[in-house]
Amino acid sequence: MGAVKSVRAKRMPRAVREQQMMDAAVQTFGQRGYRAASMDEIAELAGVSKPLVYLYLNSKEELFTACIRREAKALTEAVQAAVEPGLSADRQMWAGLEAFFRHTAENPDGWSVLHHQACTHGEPFAAEVAKMREEIAAFVTGLIAAAARQGVPPAAHRDAELAERDVAGLAQALVGAAESLAAWANETGGVSAKESAGLLMNFAWTGLDRLMRGERWSPQ
């Protein structure tokens, strides 16, 4: 057994092995929940020994924190990478939302770790997610502020400019709406990223009022 393992370990570069462990951990935490997940299960799923998992990270808490950080980074980067600065404001928003919903749909375990598991198991974990949330909210605040600058007509409508605080509040509303919608889409099943992003664009951008009257925003 030991010989087989060391051969296997030699064949597999450290980085690959670490990624397998993290993949297994995210899957296990996401599907079974933080409390129910065991290190044995994670090691087995990753195809490594339990001591190796402990060698890589000292405790279940540390492994969980590493999962939160990896998933938070991946989600933040996916959203930021999708938003090309050259696009118009509405296309930027659409691209960011679509990336968000695609990433959360394609990584349901990662999203479960961030949205459910991390927040339901105490302060240090919740604080990690709060950090990511702040980063995304700051990014969205920038998008909305840029859009507001584009949208304000030259002279007459000076008072149409959005106050800094309003922009921050709108960003919080949009982030909250997106989080809630992503969780709902994953629970409901069969809701595509385009559908969720379209729903939120119609809601937030074109406005519920226009939506009610049958108008639709579309990313043509």
What minimum distance in Å lies between the beta carbon of 212 and a second copy? 3
What minimum distance in Å lies between the beta carbon of 55 and a second copy? 30
Kindly state whether residue 45 participates in binding a second copy, applying the rule CB under 8 A: no
Q: How far apart are CA 42 and CA 57, in angstroms?
A: 12
- Closer residue to a second copy, CB minimum distance, 82 or 197: 197
DSSP state of 43: H
Nearest partner of 79 among 141, 142, 148, 136, judged by Cα: 136
Nearest partner of 95 among 118, 116, 76, 79, judged by Cα: 79
Side-chain-side CA neighbours of 109 within 13 Å: the count stands at 17
Contact region for a second copy (CB under 8 A) — 22-30, 48-56, 79-87, 211-219? Answer: 211-219
- Closer residue to a second copy, CB minimum distance, 10 or 158: 158
Query: Which position among 144, 186, 193, 197 is part of the footprint of a second copy (CB under 8 A)?
Result: 144
Alpha carbon 198 to its chain centroid, in Å, reads 18
Query: Which position among 13, 47, 51, 207 is part of the footprint of a second copy (CB under 8 A)?
Result: 207
Cα–Cα distances in angstroms (integers) from residue 74 to residues 187, 190, 212, in the given order: 21, 23, 35
Kindly state whether residue 79 participates in binding a second copy, applying the rule CB under 8 A: no
What is the length of the chain? 220
The secondary structure element, H or E, covering residue 36 is none
Rule CB under 8 A: which residues touch a second copy?
33, 35, 89-90, 119-123, 126, 144, 147-148, 150-153, 157, 159-160, 162, 165-166, 168-170, 172-181, 183-185, 188, 191, 196, 199-200, 203-215, 217
